[in-house]
C-alpha cells in the first residue's frame, strides 16, 4: 500500500522524468505494435488466404527434377547433358488422359476436367486475325512458322508450363476442346463472354464452335456460318465447324505488343469446341494419316496431334495437399508433380507482404534493442538523481527491497500507461501505415519484375509459376500472366498483440530498472546522505 | 533501567580518522538529555550510531537489553526511534504533511486518521494548514526543521534523537519545542536526546553529556576551529 502511494506521488510530482520515459515507451510501443500487426497479418494471410476456397491443380512433368536427374546421370559431372535429359523426357512423357482420370477417382478430388488443344490452319476464305499487316498472317502462314529455329522453340517451351507445342506443327488457329463446362474457366470467371449466339453442347461431338469477336469481325462471320480449317500437315484434310456463338474477351490482355511466333498464340485466334468434337477430329485425322520416314530414320506422321491437360478441383487446400501425398503413395514417379496455379499465384502475391513482414521483424528487434538501451541509461541517471530520496526513505526505516519495489512499480505504471497509449496510436496508425508500406513493397517488387521482364523477356516471379496458366494452358500461355500482388492487409491489433506488447513492456521495465535496483540494494543510507550535494 | 546505553563505543569513518572513542552513556525513559560539544566533535556521528544508521567499530549499543547490531535496524528506525536530522532529510517533492504521513506509513504501525494526526502534529510545532500543504522546497529552514520534528514524533517512538532541532529557530519557538520535548518525557515517558550548542537548551534538560573532541592531530587557530563543518 505504502509502495503504491509513494509510487503514485512520485510519478505525479516528477512529471518531467516520467514524460521522457513515457515518450520513449510510447514510441517503442507504437512502432512495435505496427510491426507485430504486420507480422500477424502476414501470417494470417498466408494461413487463411486460401481457406475454404476451391483450388485447382494439375499433374505435370517436373522439369527441374528431370534436369537434376539428367545431371546426376551425366558423366560430364555437373553439366546438364542434353542427351540424358532428352532420354528422361521420353521416359517420362506427360501423363495420358486415362492415367489422369484414374488418379481423379481419389476422394480428395472434388471434380476433374480436362481440355485438349490442337492447332489448325486456315482453309477456304477464313483468315487468322492479326494486328500486323495482314500479308504476314495469311500468305506465308503455316509452313513458314515451322521454319522457326529449334533453339528458339526450346527456349520458349522452357519458359512456359507443360503447354508448349513440343514437336507439334503450328497452325494459324488454336483449337481447345473442353470436357465440361467447368473446364471453361475463362467463361466462368467472366473473362470471356458470349456476345451473340450460345454455348455449344459440351457433351456433343458435333463440330460446333465458339469464335472470338475479333476473328468474327475480321472475317465478317456471324452465328450460323461455318468455318473450314485444315490440318497443317495435310492441307487437303479439312474440317468444317459451325459457329454457334461469338465471345468477347473483357480483358484485352495487352495482346498487341506481345512477341508471338504464331498467330495461333493470339487469344483472338482461339476457337472453342467440345472435347468430344476435337477428339472426333483427331481420331479422323489419325485414321487418314500417312507416315513417312526421313533421311535420319525418324518417323513423321501427318496425323493431327493434340495436347491434353487435366485439371483437378479440390474443395480446399488440405484436400489438395492430401491428394499430393496420395499420389506419391500410389507410386507416381518423383518426376511428376502436382502443382496449383492458385497456390503458386497466391504465394507469389504474398512476396511483398512477406518482405514487409521480415522487414517489420528486423525493425521490431532494432526498436526493442534501442529502446531498452535508452531506458537503461535513463534509469541509471534517474536513480543517481534520486540517491537522496533513497537515503531518506531508508533512513526513516523503509527497507531497501521496498524502495526498489516502489521504483519498479513507478516504472511499470509509467510503462503500462505508455504501452496503452502507444498501442492506441499503433492501432490507429497500423492499418494505413502498413498498407502504405505494403504499397511501397509492391511497387518496388513490380519495378524489379518489370526490369527482369525487359531484360529476359519473361516474367520471373521468383522462378515459380509466373507463367502457369489454368488447365486449358497452351494457347493462352504466352500472355504474360502478371502476378497480382496482395496489396492490402488487415493489420489490426488483436488481444494477442496487446498481450505481447504488455509482455514487452514488462520485460523492458525489468531490464531497465535492474540498474536502479542494484544501486538501491548496494548503498547504505548513511553513505548516501553523507555523500549528497 | 536504561532503554539505551553505549558500552565502550568507538567509531571511525576510516582507518586514519577516529571520531569517537570509549564512550559510555546511559539513557533512560522519562528524561531529556543534551549532548554538547564543539563542532566536529562527533555529535552527529554519535546520533547516527544511536539511530542505527551505522554500527560502532568498537563496543556496542544496547537497546532494551539487545545489541542494536543484532536487531532489525529498519524496524528499529521506523518504530522505536524518531530522528530529527541536522539536515532535516525531508523529501522535497512531497508537502510537509505528506512527509509526516510517509513516516507513519513506513512504521507500519496502525495509525487511524493519519492526515488528521499529522495536521495536529504540525499545528503543535506552529505550522498552519497553508504551510502544512506546501512542498518542502518552498518552506524556510526553520519551517523545515519543525516539519522534521513533527515527523519524528508522528509514529510515537520510544526514543527521540534530535540533531540541533532548534538551531534555526527563534528563542520563543525554541522554548515551545523544548516544552514539547519535556512534555513527551514527563507525561509520555519518552527518552529524548538532543544535540545542541545552545546554552538555553543545555540548561533546560535533565542531564548533559559533553563530547570532547579527540586529540587533534593538526593544530588549528580557534577561529578556524569555529568554522562549521562542511557536511555531515
Ligand atoms: N562520512 C564521513 N566520512 C569521513 N569523515 C566524516 C564523515 N562525517 C563526518 N566526518 C568527520 O567526523 C568528525 C565528526 O563529525 P560530526 O558530523 O559527527 O561532527 P558534529 O559534532 O556533528 O559537528 P557539528 O556540530 O558541526 O555538526 C568530523 O571531523 C567530520 O569531518
Ligand atoms: Mg553535526
Query: Which ligand 1 atom is the nearest neighbour of the CA of B37?
Result: 21
Q: Each residue of A437-462: b (16+ CB within 10 Å) or e?
A: bbeebbeebeeebeeebeeeebbbbe
Query: Which ligand 1 atom is the nearest neighbour of the CA of B229?
Result: 26
Q: In this complex, do B54 and A524 lie within 8 Å of one another by their Cβ atoms?
A: yes
Q: In this complex, do A526 and B54 lie within 8 Å of one another by their Cβ atoms?
A: yes
Domains of chain B: 32-47+73-208 (3.40.50.300)
Residues A275 and A417 in one domain: no
Residues A177 and A288 in one domain: yes
Is residue A58 included in any domain, yes or no? no
Which of these, A44, A43, A57, A48, lies nearest to A342 by C-alpha position? A57
Residues of B with CB below 8 A from A395's CB?
A: 53, 77, 83, 85, 89
Is residue A145 included in any domain, yes or no? yes
Residues A378 and A431 in one domain: yes
Is residue A288 included in any domain, yes or no? yes
**Residues listed for chain B:** 232
**pLDDT at residue A488 above 80?**
no
Residues A260 and A405 in one domain: no
Q: In this complex, do A529 and B89 lie within 8 Å of one another by their Cβ atoms?
A: yes
Residue B44 Cβ < 6 Å to ligand 1:
yes
Check residue A278 and give its pLDDT.
Answer: 92
Is residue A244 included in any domain, yes or no? yes
Residues A162 and A207 in one domain: yes
Q: What Rg do the C-alpha atoms of chain A give, in angstroms?
A: 34
Is residue A255 within 8 A of residue A269, CB to CB? The reply is: no
**pLDDT at residue A465 above 70?**
no
Is residue A25 within 8 A of residue A419, CB to CB? The reply is: yes
Other Cβ atoms within 10 Å of A185 Cβ, number: 18
Residues A405 and A521 in one domain: yes
**pLDDT at residue A463 above 50?**
no
Q: How far, in Å, are A120, A231, B39 from residue A234 at the CA level?
A: 10, 5, 128
Interval A123-164: pLDDT, tens: 877 888 876 544 444 444 444 444 444 444 343 433 333 333
Residues A257 and A360 in one domain: no
Is residue A332 included in any domain, yes or no? no
Q: Which domain-ending residue is among A314, A333, A361? A: A314
Check residue A332 and give its pLDDT.
Answer: 82
Q: In this complex, do A397 and B75 lie within 8 Å of one another by their Cβ atoms?
A: yes
Residues A28 and A126 in one domain: no
Interval A224-248: pLDDT, tens: 999 999 888 888 888 999 999 999 9
Which of these, A61, A108, A125, A4, lies nearest to A334 by C-alpha position? A61
Q: Which domain-ending residue is among A314, A332, A365? A: A314
Interval B154-199: pLDDT, tens: 999 999 999 988 888 888 888 888 988 999 899 989 999 999 888 8
Q: Which domain-ending residue is among A268, A288, A314? A: A314
Q: How many domains does chain A have?
A: 2
Distance from the Cα of B206 to chain A's closest Cα (Å) equals 27
Residue B39 Cβ < 6 Å to ligand 1:
yes
Check residue A533 and give its pLDDT.
Answer: 45
| Distance from Cα B46 to the centre of ligand 1, integer Å | 10
What crossing angle do the helices spanning A495-522 and A15-48 adopt, rounded to 10°?
A: 140
Which of these, A121, A129, A136, lies nearest to A233 by C-alpha position? A121
| CA quadruple A465, A469, A472, A473: dihedral sign | negative
Is residue A101 included in any domain, yes or no? no
- Average confidence (pLDDT) per 10 residues, chain B, 232 residues: 91 87 93 91 91 91 92 91 91 93 90 92 91 93 91 94 87 87 91 89 90 59 44 45
Check residue A457 and give its pLDDT.
Answer: 57
**pLDDT at residue A270 above 80?**
yes
Q: Which ligand is nearest the CA of B229, by number?
A: 1
Rounded to whole angstroms, the Cα distance separating A484 from B158 reads 83
Residues A123 and A175 in one domain: yes
Residues A163 and A277 in one domain: yes
And the C-alpha cell for B139?
518552506
Residue B11 Cβ < 6 Å to ligand 1:
no
Q: In this complex, do B85 and A395 lie within 8 Å of one another by their Cβ atoms?
A: yes
Residues A309 and A363 in one domain: no
* φ/ψ of residue A292, rounded to 5: -140, 155
Is residue A60 included in any domain, yes or no? no
Q: How far, in Å, are A133, A255, A349, A467, A508 from residue A43 at the CA level?
A: 51, 36, 13, 25, 26
Residues A272 and A358 in one domain: no
**What interface predicted TM-score (ipTM) does this complex get?**
0.88
Residues spanned by the domain of A381:
2-51+351-530
Residues of B with CB below 8 A from A398's CB?
A: 74, 78, 106
Residue A530 Cβ < 6 Å to ligand 1:
yes
Site of grid cell 459440351:
A202
Q: In this complex, do A395 and B105 lie within 8 Å of one another by their Cβ atoms?
A: no
Q: How far, in Å, are A233, A234, A345, B75 from residue A124 at the CA level?
A: 16, 14, 42, 114
Distance from the Cα of A410 to chain B's closest Cα (Å) equals 15
Q: How confident is the model at residue A258 (pLDDT cuts 50, 70, 90)?
A: low
- Chain centroid to CA A522: 59
Is residue A106 included in any domain, yes or no? no
Which of these, A3, A4, A28, lies nearest to A505 by C-alpha position? A28
Residues of B with CB below 8 A from A399's CB?
A: 74
pTM, rounded to two decimals = 0.65
Average predicted confidence (pLDDT) for chain A: 77
Residue B229 Cβ < 6 Å to ligand 1:
yes
Distance from the Cα of A376 to chain B's closest Cα (Å) equals 24
Tell me whether A529 touches chain B (CB under 8 Å): yes
Look at ligand 1, atom 31, and give the residue with the nearest C-alpha: B40
Amino acid at each position: 500500500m505504502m509502495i503504491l502511494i509513494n509510487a503514485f506521488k512520485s510519478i505525479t510530482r516528477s512529471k518531467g522524468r516520467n514524460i521522457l520515459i513515457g515518450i520513449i515507451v510510447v514510441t517503442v510501443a507504437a512502432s512495435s505494435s505496427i510491426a507485430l500487426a504486420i507480422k500477424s497479418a502476414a501470417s494470417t494471410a498466408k494461413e487463411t488466404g486460401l481457406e475454404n476456397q476451391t483450388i485447382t491443380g494439375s499433374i505435370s512433368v517436373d522439369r527441374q527434377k528431370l534436369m537434376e536427374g539428367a545431371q546426376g546421370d551425366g558423366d560430364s559431372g555437373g553439366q546438364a547433358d542434353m542427351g540424358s535429359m532428352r532420354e528422361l523426357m521420353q521416359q517420362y512423357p506427360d501423363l495420358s488422359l486415362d492415367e489422369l482420370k484414374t488418379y481423379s477417382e481419389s476422394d480428395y478430388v472434388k471434380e476433374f476436367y480436362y481440355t485438349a488443344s490442337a492447332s489448325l490452319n486456315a482453309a477456304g476464305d477464313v483468315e487468322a486475325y492479326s494486328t500486323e499487316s495482314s500479308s504476314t498472317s495469311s500468305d506465308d502462314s503455316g509452313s513458314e512458322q515451322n521454319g522457326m529455329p529449334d533453339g528458339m522453340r526450346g527456349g520458349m517451351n522452357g519458359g512456359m508450363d507443360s503447354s508448349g507445342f513440343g514437336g507439334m506443327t503450328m497452325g494459324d488457329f488454336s483449337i481447345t476442346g473442353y470436357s465440361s463446362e467447368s473446364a471453361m474457366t475463362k467463361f466462368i470467371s467472366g473473362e470471356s463472354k458470349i456476345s451473340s449466339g450460345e454455348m455449344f453442347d459440351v457433351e456433343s461431338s458435333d463440330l460446333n464452335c465458339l469464335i472470338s469477336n475479333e476473328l468474327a469481325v475480321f472475317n465478317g462471320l456471324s452465328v450460323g456460318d461455318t468455318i473450314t480449317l485444315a490440318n497443317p500437315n495435310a492441307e487437303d484434310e479439312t474440317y468444317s465447324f459451325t459457329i454457334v456463338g461469338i465471345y468477347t474477351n473483357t480483358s484485352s490482355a495487352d495482346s498487341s505488343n506481345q512477341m508471338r511466333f504464331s498467330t495461333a498464340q493470339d487469344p483472338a485466334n482461339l476457337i472453342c469446341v467440345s472435347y468430344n468434337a476435337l477428339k472426333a477430329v483427331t481420331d479422323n485425322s489419325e485414321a487418314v494419316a500417312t507416315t513417312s520416314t526421313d533421311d535420319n530414320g525418324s518417323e513423321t506422321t501427318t496425323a493431327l496431334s493434340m495436347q491434353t491437360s487435366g485439371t483437378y478441383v479440390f474443395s480446399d487446400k488440405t484436400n489438395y495437399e492430401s491428394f499430393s501425398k496420395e499420389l506419391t503413395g500410389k507410386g507416381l514417379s518423383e518426376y511428376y508433380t502436382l502443382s496449383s496455379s492458385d497456390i503458386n499465384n497466391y504465394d507469389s502475391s504474398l512476396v511483398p507482404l512477406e518482405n514487409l513482414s521480415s522487414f517489420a521483424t528486423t525493425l521490431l528487434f532494432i526498436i526493442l534493442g534501442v529502446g531498452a538501451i535508452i531506458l537503461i541509461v535513463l534509469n541509471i541517471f534517474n536513480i543517481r538523481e534520486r540517491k537522496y530520496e533513497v537515503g531518506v526513505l531508508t533512513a526513516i526505516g523503509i527497507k531497501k527491497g521496498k524502495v526498489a519495489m516502489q521504483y519498479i512499480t513507478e516504472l511499470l505504471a509509467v510503462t503500462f500507461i505508455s504501452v496503452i497509449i502507444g498501442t492506441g496510436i499503433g492501432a490507429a496508425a497500423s492499418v494505413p501505415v502498413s498498407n502504405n508500406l505494403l504499397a511501397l513493397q509492391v511497387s518496388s517488387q513490380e519495378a524489379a519484375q518489370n526490369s527482369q521482364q525487359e531484360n529476359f523477356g519473361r516474367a520471373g516471379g521468383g522462378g515459380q509459376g509466373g507463367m502457369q496458366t489454368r488447365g486449358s494452358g497452351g494457347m493462352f500461355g504466352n500472355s504474360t500472366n502478371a502476378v497480382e500482388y496482395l496489396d492490402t492487409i488487415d493489420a489490426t491489433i488483436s488481444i494477442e498483440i496487446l498481450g505481447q506488447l504488455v509482455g514487452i513492456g514488462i520485460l523492458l521495465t525489468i531490464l531497465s530498472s535492474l540498474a536502479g535496483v542494484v544501486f538501491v540494494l548496494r548503498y547504505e543510507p548513511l553513505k548516501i546522505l553523507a555523500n549528497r550535494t | 533501567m536504561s532503554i539505551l546505553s553505549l558500552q565502550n563505543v568507538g567509531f571511525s569513518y576510516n582507518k586514519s580518522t577516529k571520531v569517537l572513542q570509549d564512550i559510555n552513556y546511559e539513557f533512560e525513559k522519562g528524561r531529556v538529555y543534551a549532548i554538547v560539544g564543539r563542532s566536529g566533535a562527533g555529535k552527529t556521528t554519535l546520533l547516527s550510531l544511536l539511530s542505527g544508521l551505522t554500527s560502532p567499530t568498537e563496543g556496542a549499543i544496547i537497546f532494551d537489553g539487545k545489541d542494536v547490531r543484532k536487531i532489525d535496524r529498519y524496524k528499529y528506525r521506523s518504530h522505536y526511534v524518531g530522528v530529527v536530522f541536522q539536515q532535516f532529510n525531508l523529501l522535497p517533492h512531497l508537502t510537509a504533511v505528506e512527509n509526516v504521513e510517509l513516516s507513519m506509513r513506513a512504521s507500519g504501525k496502525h495509525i487511524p486518521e493519519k492526515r488528521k494526526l499529522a495536521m495536529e502534529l504540525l499545528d503543535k510545532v506552529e505550522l498552519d494548514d497553508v504551510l502544512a500543504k506546501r512542498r518542502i522546497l518552498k518552506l524556510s529552514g526553520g519551517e523545515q526543521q519543525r516539519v522534521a520534528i513533527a515527523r519524528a514524533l508522528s509514529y510515537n517512538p520510544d526514543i527521540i534523537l534530535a540533531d540541533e532541532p532548534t538551531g534555526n529557530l527563534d528563542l520563543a519557538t525554541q522554548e515551545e519545542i523544548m516544552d514539547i520535548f519535556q512534555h513527551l518525557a514527563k507525561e509520555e515517558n519518552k527518552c529524548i536526546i538532543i544535540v545542541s550548542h545552545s546554552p538555553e537548551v543545555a540548561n533546560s534538560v535533565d542531564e548533559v553529556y559533553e563530547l570532547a573532541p579527540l586529540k587533534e592531530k593538526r593544530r588549528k587557530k580557534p577561529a578556524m576551529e569555529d568554522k562549521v563543518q562542511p557536511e555531515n
